[in-house]
Amino acid sequence: MDVVYQIGEASVAEILEKLPDPPSYSAVRTMVRLLESKGFLTHRQEGTRYVYRASQSRDTAMRQAVSHLMKTFFAGSATDAVAAILHPSVAKLTDDDIQRLEGLIQQARKKGK
């Protein structure tokens, strides 16, 4: 998905070229088909090859994935999800990271969320 988001649309061969430690062609083709069957990708035929593109924006996909993660592992609790992410065994936060998080919390307070 990262490659498709980076270049907009790509064939399996183009995806394979962009992967740093690529698996086999057939493994990439299988993954692309799986992503398409789940609705994350669509394709169009260009000659004998299929060209794939994301079916939704990266932001939309990210929000849906986070929502699914929260429901699956944290009973929908944003607080529990953030606490797990901030655990020292998971995240090594810099002062800048903490400052940004504090700013995001302040924004959420102002919006009444």
The amino acid at 62: M
Q: Give the span between the Cα atoms of 29 and 111, in whole angstroms.
A: 44
For the domain made up of 2-54, give the CATH fold.
Arc Repressor Mutant, subunit A (1.10.10)
Angle at CA of residue 65, ends 76 and 69, nearest 5°: 35
Q: What letter does residue 92 receive in the DSSP assignment?
A: -
Q: Where are the domains of the chain?
A: 2-54, 58-110
Strands of the chain, DSSP E? 9-10, 41-46, 49-54
Strand segments (E) across 26-66: 41-46, 49-54
Per-residue confidence band for 91, with pLDDT thresholds at 50, 70 and 90: confident
What are the pLDDT digits (tens) for 6-33? 999 999 999 999 999 999 999 999 999 9
